[in-house]
Homo-oligomer: A and B are copies of this chain.
Amino acid sequence: MASEEQKQLEQHEALLERIKSREPINTEWLDEIMHSADIVAVLDDDAINDEDLKWFFNQDDKEFLADVLEDADDALQARVVHQLAYSDIIRIFSFMPNDEIADILGDLPIDSRKRLLKMMKASDSRELQVLLGYEDNTAGGLMTTEYIALYQDLTVVQALMKIREIAPKTEVIETIFVLNRKRQLVGWADLRDILSEDPATLLEDIMDPNVVTVDPLLDQEETAQVVRKYDLTALAVVNRRKSLLGIVTADDIMDVMVEEQTEDILHMGGVSGEEEIGGEIGTSIKRRLPWLCVNLITAFIAASAIAIFDSVIAQVAALASVMTIVSGMGGNAGSQTLSVAIRGITLGEINLKDDWPLVFKEIALGALNGAAIGLITGIIIYFRYHNIYLGMVVVMAMVGNLVIAGVSGYLIPLVLEKIGQDPALSSSIFLTTMTDTCGFFIFLGLAKLFLPLLV
């Protein structure tokens, strides 16, 4: 593997130098030795400026350029398109699947988009306008119209001829969709079966009528769950009249999964929207500061719970140190429940209506874990401050706060999901407010009750 990596690094440097020095590039040869994803990595190198991109994408081999552009991310695609003449863009587009073209067009200023659509073939332009009509994060926004759909009354030999003709222009050839003469989707067939069947058999006798479909407006996360559940290579998107509008393919689903996953990670950490670690500091502040301000409000709420008991703390200063253990452990236990619940929601396993009784499990769990952790803490506190009552207050407060943590950690994300919010983004802030405020309040409240025994 090491030498393989070494080779890749050398190829990267060689191509970079070639572009910087404007040496002519034999694209056929380049296509053979380097994968387009690796060529994209070169073009994404900090050393490559807009002029370099313009030069690279002005080569004659538009099919090769289309492959490269397809592998680039949104930012690089936008930079490239910005550098090129409209006529060149149209020629490159002619080699790209139209869901990719729709994605690129969707990110362009409205007038460039209109101009490009006008320059295309009428049929392409119509298809693209339909695709552009769907939100990016829906099944319709993900789908491509380049699939194979054949009438059910074709024979295997007729079907194979059609497939041979359409195949170069489609994204998926393994799954062949089958339509009736009203162009409604009635089934699907596996290319494997078509290849091995008797030539005179009709498609309707091979096809599986049990075809999984989704609505174009379905959210991308749920679309991904359908593809995963049924292990599909291509998912059919249909309207109410069962007309096939397009297909969503596995590679698009993987991109969705990565997007949702990294979004969840950021949201759980309290960063709204996308942020890259090496990005502009201004963007980072914009993404993080508002959320910190929200956090600040909750920090003040928790601090107020303490302020109520200022006089108690003035008498027993040790409380200030011990109370942070109770609130902190509540936060930790709550995060555990929260992450298990968010995982359940992400996998579509739980919802508020059916599964709220599971909260009783979390209550029991909070009480048991609270008793265990509380007892350990209480004993240590007793030996440290030589006061058995302080130890007992700790045990009681810990049990109470861990039960609250379990209830909050389970119900908060479910309620947020129910009212249409992203549970990963906002759950933890509500949770911490609960566990901090209640932790301080229960502990200091009990301490006040037992005050004569503590001083």
A14 within 8 Å of B by Cβ? no
Whether B436 and A295, one on each chain, are in contact in the complex, defined by CB atoms closer than 8 angstroms, is no
A291 within 8 Å of B by Cβ? yes
In the complex, A372→B170 CA distance in Å?
54
Residue among B165, B254, B261 making CB contact with A346, cutoff 8 Å: B261
A292: B residues at CB distance < 8 A: 329, 332-333, 336, 369, 373
A266 within 8 Å of B by Cβ? yes
Indicate with 1 or 0, residue by residue over A168-191, a CB within 8 angstroms of chain B CB atoms: 101011100000000000000001
In the complex, A364→B281 CA distance in Å?
8
In the complex, A81→B35 CA distance in Å?
43
Residue of B nearest to A192 (CB): B167
A343 within 8 Å of B by Cβ? yes
A358 within 8 Å of B by Cβ? yes
Whether A329 and B296, one on each chain, are in contact in the complex, defined by CB atoms closer than 8 angstroms, is yes
A60 within 8 Å of B by Cβ? no
Whether A325 and B296, one on each chain, are in contact in the complex, defined by CB atoms closer than 8 angstroms, is yes
Whether A195 and B250, one on each chain, are in contact in the complex, defined by CB atoms closer than 8 angstroms, is no
A46 within 8 Å of B by Cβ? no
Whether B340 and A269, one on each chain, are in contact in the complex, defined by CB atoms closer than 8 angstroms, is yes
A324: B residues at CB distance < 8 A: 299, 302-303, 306, 324, 327, 436, 440
In the complex, A358→B281 CA distance in Å?
11
User: Which residues in window 315-351 of A have CB below 8 A to B?
Assistant: 317-325, 327-329, 332-333, 335-344, 346-347, 349-350
A293 within 8 Å of B by Cβ? yes
Whether A299 and B329, one on each chain, are in contact in the complex, defined by CB atoms closer than 8 angstroms, is yes
A85 within 8 Å of B by Cβ? no
A258: B residues at CB distance < 8 A: 228, 257, 347
Whether A336 and B270, one on each chain, are in contact in the complex, defined by CB atoms closer than 8 angstroms, is yes
Whether A338 and B269, one on each chain, are in contact in the complex, defined by CB atoms closer than 8 angstroms, is yes
Indicate with 1 or 0, residue by residue over A272-298, a CB within 8 angstroms of chain B CB atoms: 000111100100110011011101100
Whether B340 and A376, one on each chain, are in contact in the complex, defined by CB atoms closer than 8 angstroms, is no
A325: B residues at CB distance < 8 A: 296, 299-300, 303
A208 within 8 Å of B by Cβ? yes
A422: B residues at CB distance < 8 A: none
Residue of B nearest to A4 (CB): B213
In the complex, A419→B73 CA distance in Å?
31
| Interface segment out of the listed A47-55, A111-119, A124-132, A229-237 | A229-237
Give me the interface of A with B, judged by CB distance under 8 Å. Answer: 1, 31-35, 37, 71, 163-165, 167-168, 170, 172-174, 191-193, 195-196, 208-210, 212, 215, 227-231, 233, 250-251, 253-255, 257-258, 260-262, 264-271, 275-278, 281, 284-285, 288-289, 291-293, 295-296, 299-300, 302-304, 306-307, 310-311, 313-314, 317-325, 327-329, 332-333, 335-344, 346-347, 349-350, 355, 358, 361, 364-365, 368-369, 372-373, 376-377, 380, 410, 424, 432, 436, 440
4 additional A-B pairs beyond A292-B373, A317-B317, beta carbons within 8 Å, are A32-B209, A34-B210, A174-B174, A281-B361
